[in-house]
Structure formats: C-alpha cells, structure tokens
A and B are shown apart, each in its own frame.
Chain A
C-alpha cells in the first residue's frame, strides 16, 4: 500500500500537468480506435475470408482468391459433410468432448475443492503435482504415453482418448479452480455442514453453484483446447478413419485438397469446425470474463 501513498504525493505535484494530459487523451483515442480496427481486421479477416470462400466454387476460388461468392454455393458444405465425412468427425468430436469435458470438470473441481479447503498430509505435494503437470507438454511424452495406452488396451478407443484428454486438462483445471475455491466465502460451507449436510451434498449443492463463474470460464478454456486437440488423437486414435475427430479430419482434408483440388469443401469444413466454438462463446460470453476475474486473480 506504499504505492498508493506515493501516488498521491506525486500526483499532487503534477496537478498542473493535468490539462495537458487530458488533451493528449483525444489523440490517444483516435490512435486506439485505429489500433482496434486494425486488430479486428487482422484477427477476424482470415476467418471471415474462410467462411465467405466456403460459399464459392473451387474454380472461382482458384481464379480469384479474394472475390465474393456470385451465388451461395451450398454444395461445398454437402461435399464436406458427406464425402469428406466432416459430419461423422464432428459427431466423434462431440461424443469425445461430452465425456472428456464432463470428466475434466467433475474431477478437477472435486480435487480443487479438497486442495483449497482442507489441510491434509501431502496437500502441498498434490498441489505441486498439478503445477508440475501443467508445465509438462504432451509432445514430450508421446512414446511413453503410447505405451501406457497400449498396455491398458485403450489405444484407438474412445475411452482411451477421453482419459488422455482428461489427464492432460486436469493440471491446469485443478490449478485454476483451486485458487477459485479459495476465494469463496467459508461461512456458507460451514453452515451447511453444521446443519448436517454431507460432503457430497455440500459440494454439489452449495460449492458448485457458488463456483459457477469459475467453472464456466475454465470449462470454455477446456472446450477450446479439447475441441482443437490434434496431437493426442493423432497419437492415440489414428487407426480407423471412421473414428477420427474433427481436427484429424480437417488435416486429412487439407492434404487431400493438394491433389483433388476441392478447395471449396476444405473451406466449408473449416467453417463447420468453427461454428461450435462461436456458439459456445456467444452463449457464455459474459461468464467467461466474470469467471476469469474471480478465479485466476485472487
């Protein structure tokens, strides 16, 4: 709190500068708006281009990559969905995610609740285990992970992929939620337990609803990560083409375009892959920010 006092003394000295600073604020606004417009174009431009191009025929795309569609060419989506099996892959992704996201959130929040709220022998060790797990990337463990999954007969199975997704999402999830649970008031929990609620009940009926903002934002973070996960399925789920998840399907499609030349279908596939992400974001937009605020920062 020494900062605030020093701020006050310094700011008194500079009272005379105030007018000048405010004048430069106008110029700053013009600059910042230009910056934002530039950013918007840079970030959203390519995605909009992909989405628009998905409605053009492949020959049109080759002739003039930057053009607008002359008519809505829905055939690309039909091609991507049926011939390139994007529909099947999207369904696979959804099934995997339904399992992995539920598992990640449930196990992660349970562990975080215990680590945050109870002292027990090894508490610190468990926390360090998660922190260490966060720094360890999948790519380092490709060969041993493959062996583990093979030993447990989980290779090329949905449960195997789900377990791997959960395990690699848990460290960050638990880490994040632990700091979140620490911020929640202890009074309600104690009152519930004094009233005779079991731990299970306290957790599901009292703690989880209170932690909703944090759960939503880490949930979205995991959704994005798992939806776009490419390395794990490439390693653990590469046997049958029919069980590919979406990123694998898109990568295959991208390679196939090299000689088939059906660019339209590729762009349609990419567009299909982005839709769920945008839907999730649209639904939870408010909570994402509220959750990050409350969770990560205290």
Chain B
C-alpha cells in the first residue's frame, strides 16, 4: 500500500498511512496517491467483469462467428448491415420505445399518487406499506411466471373469473396475440417497478419540511395548488432519479417478456432486448451488433432525458 504523504515519525493513532504534520501537504499527497488503493479493487472488478465484456461484445459484432463459436475472421460492418435489413427490426424498435415510455410514464404517475397517499397518516398504513414491498419481495421472474399461469387459456384464473362474470364468452388466449399480450406485460412491468419508485418518491416527500406546507396553507393555497407549486418542484430530484433508473430497468427488462411470451408469436411481442437474445440462436455476430445498438439506445435515452429535465430547470 502506498503512503498517502511523506511519513512523519511518531504521531498518535494506528493506521498504515503516515501523516504529514501540516494539513496542506497531507492533502496534496493524498490527492496524488491516496485514492488509488481505495478504489483500485473496484475499478479492477468493473473493468474485468463489466467493461471487458462490453469491449468483447463490440469486437464480436464485427466478427464472423459460427453457431458453434468458431471465429471465421472479420465481417466488417456486415453484421450491422444484416441487422438493419431485418424486416422485423423496425416494428421491434417502435415497440421497444412504446414499451419503455408507457411503462415508465405510468409507473411514475401511479407512484406519485401512491407516495402521496403513503405520506399521510391513516389507519392501516403499516399494512399497506407492507403490501407495497410485496412485489419487490417476490422475484420478477416468479411474478411473471405467476401472471402467466393466471392468464393461461385453459387453466388460468382470469378466464374462469371473467367467464363467471360474463365479460367474455369463451376462454381467451391472452398472451397468444400481441394486442392483449402487450397490455398484460406492461401491467406486470409497472407492477414490479412500483415499489422501488414509490419508495424513492416517498423518501423525497419526506424531505420537504412541514413549514413549507404551513406557509402555503396560511397563504391560502389550495390542495392542488400546493401540490403543483410546492410538492412537485421539491420532489424533482427524487423524480429524476426514479425516471432514470426506471428508464434503464424497463428498457433492459428481459425476464418479464421472456417468461410470459418469449417475445412471440414471431417477434410480435419482442423488445430489442428479446430480439437480441433470439438472434443469438441464429447469428452471434448479428446478436452482438444488436447488443451494441441496444446499449447505445439506453445511453441516448438517458442522456436525452437528462438534457430535457435540465433544460426545464433553467427555464
């Protein structure tokens, strides 16, 4: 371990780094060497386990690799050309954007309402807060499988229930066609995103000091006005964090779609992430190209959002 500063003999306290007598020199020494041993393991780990696969992925997307994994040399940009010539790609990308925007928007809206409600004192609040964490406690995969059972054409609870109530005449194959499969998958995605988002917003609400509300009440502001002009602006940081994390998670969401429809029939219910996974079976290089495009898309989505939200702030 490197020393943080020129060692100064005989001072109090244990510890491996020597300390300089004057704060100034200690700080400049630290600035040069100090942080390294502290963050080196982390950086190494991330370089090997996260960054290296990214690099490898980009490299693979320019290679001609057989299904068995044999490298047949460079493919140039052929894989990207092949990818962009896929007839399904357009629909898949459009659905990916719709999927991401709808799920994130509805999650944020419902979470705003839930957080607002949970921030009040009411009988049974503890129980409802427990219910809030419930979808979080069961894994996303299990939740998706559970919903798949409920929506099953022959054995599903939903068909039985809706037929008993007279909403439908015969059992429906809810996940068999994209028009009904999409809304159901979106509902599941929203359902599993709510706990974390609501908790973030709830935490944000609790940072707003009571005096602010007091002041607005004395000034005679109504409920809605207080909410729009005081709560929402002060909730902004929490809201931004919620949106960014949801954008990333929902865009990258795989287990829900894979467990419920496997992106089918055909590519009808595939997002670009599922599309990428399916391409892996036919062409590894093309699948890697899709991965690269996917990663770029997430970064762009998040950057656009951050840009837009900052622009609003300056307004």
| B-binding residues in A (CB < 8 A) | 3-4, 6-8, 10-12, 14-15, 17-18, 20-22, 24-25, 28, 32-33, 35-36, 39-40, 42-44, 46-47, 50, 65-66, 107-108, 110-111, 113-115, 118-120, 126, 129-130, 132-137, 139-141, 143-145, 147-148, 163-164, 166-168, 170-171, 174, 190, 193-201, 221, 224, 227-228, 230-231, 247, 250-251, 254, 270, 273-274, 277-278, 281, 285, 288-289, 292-293, 296-298
Contact = CB atoms under 8 A, between A and B. Distances in A.
A156 B199 CA distance: 36
Interface in B44-88: 45-46, 48-54, 56-57, 60
Contact of A119 (B31, B52, B131, B134): B31
Nearest to B199: A292
B79 to A, nearest CB: 14
A199 B252 contact: no
A65 to B, nearest CB: 7
Name the residue in B124, B134, B302 with the highest tally of chain A Cβ atoms < 10 Å from its Cβ: B134
B229 interface: yes
B135 A292 contact: no
12 contacts: A6-B229, A12-B220, A42-B191, A46-B146, A50-B146, A110-B39, A114-B39, A126-B43, A129-B43, A137-B252, A140-B57, A277-B137
Contact of A230 (B23, B138, B139, B273): B139
Nearest to B274: A139
B23 A15 contact: no
A108 B45 CA distance: 11
A118 B35 contact: yes
Interface in B188-237: 191, 194, 196, 199-200, 202-204, 206-207, 216, 219-225, 229-230, 233, 237
Interface residues of B, number: 97
Contacts of B308: none
Given A148-B52, A250-B142, 14 more contacts: A7-B225, A12-B220, A39-B114, A110-B38, A118-B30, A129-B46, A134-B248, A144-B54, A144-B56, A166-B45, A199-B15, A285-B129, A293-B204, A293-B207
How would you classify the secondary structure of chain A's contact residues: helix, strand, loop or mixed?
Answer: helix
A111 B50 contact: no
A141 B225 contact: no
A289 B206 contact: yes
B41 A107 contact: yes
Contacts of A198: 13-17, 19
Contacts of A14: 220-222, 225
Contact of B203 (A33, A193, A196, A296): A296
Name the residue in B140, B141, B233 with the highest tally of chain A Cβ atoms < 10 Å from its Cβ: B141
B23 A292 contact: no
B34 interface: yes
A33 B51 contact: no
B23 A194 contact: yes
A128 to B, nearest CB: 11
Nearest to B54: A136
B224 A200 contact: no
Interface stretch (B101-109, B169-177, B290-298): B290-298
A7 B117 contact: no
A2 B311 CA distance: 16
User: Which 3 A-B residue pairings sit nearest by Cβ, starting from the closest?
Assistant: A198-B15, A228-B139, A167-B49
